[in-house]
DNA sequence: GACAAGCTACGAATCGGTTCGTATCTTGAG
DNA sequence: CTCAAGATACGAACCGATTCGTAGCTTGTC
């Protein structure tokens, strides 16, 4: 029986994003990267990554003294999981309502909208 | 100095959604409504709503013995806050990427897409 | 081989969110 | 008035996530 797909916490997600971006990395790599944004202790990151390994969010190669970690979950499905979660928690299950809010957000530029337009056209053809 | 806008937790959001839907409600109203989905104790909901009142997420009318609570934050801005939060935590700030994932989600029907299409057209006219 | 630097392991403290038991108050029915 | 039902208040426990100090293990350099 495989465990339910895991919902990464805030800290876990931050680490996953580094791993997705950099590929296999050491704790130091991740810590250095995260330190650009937040002040955070080295052993804090280490501990978190150890826990993530236990949970199956990352795998690690411990053959060398300095372990090398790798994301064990893919970016797209994880994002989809989080989006789905929010859709249910805050939008009563309506993906449309979430998209509406996202487009209202100041984060959505004209180019974004054109990109989305294109994706919509594609989706329509694929799913007529 | 007004406090930062509050990010409601899971439980808080569930309660807010009831208040948004029902309008001013008693603890019992909310508890009854929530009990459709989850088994949850009455005093648990009570306590949570008391804390939310302290935080300013809800207001309450305590003039009668049975207090009446009301959402103190609006639905749309709160949703926008949560969407923005997710955009930054999981999508590196790209609203577009979030929308893409949302549209891929099984939750987005053809009608949703058409609705979104319409919204996009509107948005384009408004923001040329 | 001894040391310094860098690494992992791990226990403990903390924190916010959540849950619930219990005490106390209010009110309507009899 | 008395009692039972139902409400609020509040402390305490619990839980998962996070943080960090400290101990102990490698390894490269001299």
Question: With b meaning 16 or more CB within 10 Å and e meaning fewer, what string describes B84-120?
Answer: bebbeebbeebbbbbbbbbbbbebbeeebbebbeebb
Q: A61-115, pLDDT tens digit by residue?
A: 999 999 999 999 999 999 999 999 999 999 999 888 998 898 887 656 777 777 7
Give DSSP secondary structure letters for B75-104. Answer: HHHHHHHHHHHHHHHHSTT-HHHHHHHHHH
* B33-43 pLDDT tens trace: 999 989 999 99
Could you report the per-residue pLDDT of B41-51, keeping only the tens digit for each? 999 999 999 99
What residues of A are in contact with residue B124 (Cβ under 8 Å)? 110, 113
* CA–C1' A63–C4 (A): 24
Chain B contacts in chain A segment 38-67 (CB below 8 A): none
Output the pTM of the full model. Answer: 0.90
Cα dihedral sign, A68-A74-A79-A85: negative
Considering CB atoms only, which of B90, B97, B117 is closest to A120? B117
H/E element holding A69? strand A68-71
Q: Where are the beta strands (DSSP E) in chain B?
A: 58-61, 68-71
* Per-residue pLDDT, B128: 56
Best mutation target, A87, A113, A117, to test chain B (most B CBs within 10 A): A113
d(CA B116, CA B120): 6
Report pLDDT digits (tens) over B75-113.
999 999 999 999 999 999 988 899 889 888 765 677 777
Taking 90 as the threshold, does the pLDDT of residue B126 lie above it?
Answer: no
Residues of B in contact with A86 (CB under 8 A): 82-83, 86
pLDDT of residue B100: 86
Residues of chain B with C-beta less than 8 angstroms from the C-beta of A96:
108, 112, 115-116
Three-state secondary structure string covering A13-52: HHHHHHHHHHCCECHHHHHHHHHCCCCCCHHHHHHHHHHH
Report whether pLDDT(B2) > 70. Answer: no
Q: Which of B79, B101, B123 is facing A83, going by the closest CB pair?
A: B101
For B102, list phi and psi in degrees, rounded to 5: -65, -40
B98 contacts A83? CB cut-off 8 A = yes
Which helix (H) or strand (E) segment holds residue A59: the answer is: strand A58-61
Q: Which helix (H) or strand (E) holds A55?
A: helix A42-55
């Amino acid at each position: 029986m495989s465990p339910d797909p895991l919902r990464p916490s805030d800290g876990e997600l931050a680490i996953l994003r580094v791993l997705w971006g950099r590929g296999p990395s050491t704790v130091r790599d991740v810590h250095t990267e995260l330190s650009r944004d937040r002040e955070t202790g080295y052993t804090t990151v280490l501990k978190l990554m150890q826990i993530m390994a236990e949970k199956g969010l990352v795998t690690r190669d411990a053959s060398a003294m300095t372990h090398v970690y790798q994301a064990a979950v893919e970016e797209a499905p994880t994002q989809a999981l989080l989006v789905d979660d929010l859709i249910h928690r805050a939008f009563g299950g309506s993906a449309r309502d979430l998209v509406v809010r996202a487009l209202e957000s100041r984060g959505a530029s004209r180019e974004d909208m054109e990109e989305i337009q294109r994706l919509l056209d594609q989706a329509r053809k694929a799913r007529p």
